[in-house]
């Protein structure tokens, strides 16, 4: 899907397209995207999100202190979907520069293109570092944003194809780290 949200696009429709592509997103991610694109009023952001639910396009799901929007009530923010949600926080920080992006559904959680260059955002659970490096070696010219569970994984994940490392909290706070 297109990465850059154009002024002429309907924000509600764009959010719906995101949910079609990514299946489940944290409510805070949708609100953050809307705020980045000029919807400054919390009331207006809530109205747009509510319009998605009222049209029957999404379901709202609350787990603990987090709220999610899903395109299907059977989809839960666990496993690969939780990894994708964490990677989506990285995408949100670059969304204004991204030409296109999509859910990869493979080793990479999100694939994006910026200025004609391919990037993948991958989530690496502890213990999967060697598998990650194997995939990176076979990734051609693609550069990687590597989302880690812990910074102690960095020495285990060294490749010239890694653009940057990051940790992402459950609340979406991103911290970036350089390679060693």
Q: What are the pLDDT digits (tens) for 35-79?
A: 988 888 999 999 988 888 877 778 889 999 999 999 888 899 999
Residues 60 and 100 in one domain: no
Q: What is the pLDDT of residues 80-121, one digit of tens each?
A: 999 999 999 999 999 888 999 999 978 889 999 999 999 999
Q: Last residue of some domain: 28, 50, 70?
A: 70
Question: Burial code of 127-148, b = ≥16 C-beta within 10 A, e = fewer?
Answer: ebbeebbebbeebeebbbbbbb
Please tell me the predicted confidence (pLDDT) of residue 130: 95
Residues 155 and 86 in one domain: yes
Angle of CA points 162, 106, 127, to nearest 5°: 60
Place of tokens 């002429």: 8
- The verdict on residue 90 lying in a domain is yes
- The verdict on residue 6 lying in a domain is no
Please tell me the predicted confidence (pLDDT) of residue 6: 64
Please tell me the predicted confidence (pLDDT) of residue 58: 82
The answer, yes or no, to whether residue 4 has pLDDT greater than 70, is: no
Q: What is the CATH number of the domain that holds 36?
A: 1.10.10.10
Please tell me the predicted confidence (pLDDT) of residue 163: 95
Q: What is the pLDDT of residues 126-164, one digit of tens each?
A: 999 999 999 999 999 999 999 999 999 999 999 999 999
pLDDT band at 8 (very low <50, low <70, confident <90, very high): low
Residues 103 and 20 in one domain: no
Residues 124 and 173 in one domain: yes
Residues 17 and 60 in one domain: yes
Residue 122 near residue 107 (C-beta atoms within 8 A)? yes
- The verdict on residue 5 lying in a domain is no
Residues 98 and 148 in one domain: yes
Domain count, the chain: 2
- The verdict on residue 163 lying in a domain is yes
Residues 106 and 54 in one domain: no
Residues 40 and 115 in one domain: no
* Phi/psi at 27 (5° precision): -55, -40
Residues 86 and 169 in one domain: yes
Q: Which domain holds residue 30?
A: 11-70
Q: What is the CATH number of the domain that holds 167?
A: 3.40.1350
pTM score? 0.92
């Amino acid at each position: 899907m297109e990465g850059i949200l154009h002024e002429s696009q309907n924000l509600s429709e764009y959010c719906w397209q995101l949910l079609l592509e990514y299946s489940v997103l944290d409510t805070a991610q949708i609100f953050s995207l809307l705020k980045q694109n000029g919807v400054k009023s919390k009331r207006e952001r809530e109205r747009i999100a509510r319009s998605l639910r009222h049209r029957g396009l999404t379901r709202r799901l609350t787990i603990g202190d987090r709220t999610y929007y899903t395109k299907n009530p059977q989809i839960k923010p666990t496993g690969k979907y939780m990894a994708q949600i964490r990677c989506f926080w990285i995408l949100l920080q670059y969304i204004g520069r991204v030409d296109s992006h999509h859910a990869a559904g493979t080793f990479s959680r999100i694939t994006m293109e910026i200025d004609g260059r391919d990037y993948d955002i991958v989530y690496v659970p502890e213990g999967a570092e060697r598998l990650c490096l194997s995939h990176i070696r076979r990734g051609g010219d693609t550069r990687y944003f590597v989302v880690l569970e812990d910074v102690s994984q960095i020495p285990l994940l060294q490749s010239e194809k890694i653009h940057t490392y990051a940790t992402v909290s459950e609340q979406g706070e991103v911290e970036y780290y350089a390679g060693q």
